[in-house]
Amino acid sequence: MQLIAAVDNNWAIGFQNSLLVRIPRDQQMFREMTEGKVIVVGRKTFETFPQKQPLKNRVNIILSRDQKYKVKGAEVVHSMDELLEALKNYDNRDVFVAGGAGVYEQLLPYCDTAHITKIDYTYQADAYCPRLDTMADWHCTAESEEQTYFDIEYYFQKYERKK
């Protein structure tokens, strides 16, 4: 599985159920990497999608504890066991874990690659991605040149789990 996230200097990903910032090139990269693939998100993250609709041209799998939660055009699972069973239908390399914090935490042990948009700023936040840069079994294997969006500087990074 692959993790995909945009994080600030503290590896924050959100505040009050919203992204910290929307960077068009980051959103484009997310779309390019995940189209035709599987995305796994938690319910709160899903509900931040435009019109609370599944993202087009992807298999959307939503993890929710609410047994009655249903979404047209998406698969809803209610436990890690159910999620892992559903994911057996897909090539592991085609599965992107796309948030939020709890889903990143639960699925990190199953991921071997992470695509991180590292934003050089510290935002007010209440949701975080695991700090791969402090974990001995993860290392950054690629980093783009500095990118800018207005006054925001950011980098595209690739982390891989050490074999």
Kindly report, residue by residue over 7-24, the tens digit of the pLDDT: 999 999 999 999 999 999
What is the C-alpha to C-alpha distance for residues 14 and 73, in angstroms, rounded to an integer? Answer: 25
What is the C-alpha to C-alpha distance for residues 151 and 163, in angstroms, rounded to an integer? Answer: 38
Ramachandran area for residue 67 (φ above 0: left; ψ -120 to 50: alpha; else beta): alpha
CA 31 from chain centre, in angstroms, equals 12
What is the C-alpha to C-alpha distance for residues 163 and 146, in angstroms, rounded to an integer? Answer: 28
Cβ(115)–Cβ(2) below 8 Å: yes
Average confidence score pLDDT of the chain? 97
Judged against a pLDDT cut of 90, whether residue 163 lies above it is answered with no
Q: Indicate the CATH number for domain 2-161.
A: 3.40.430.10
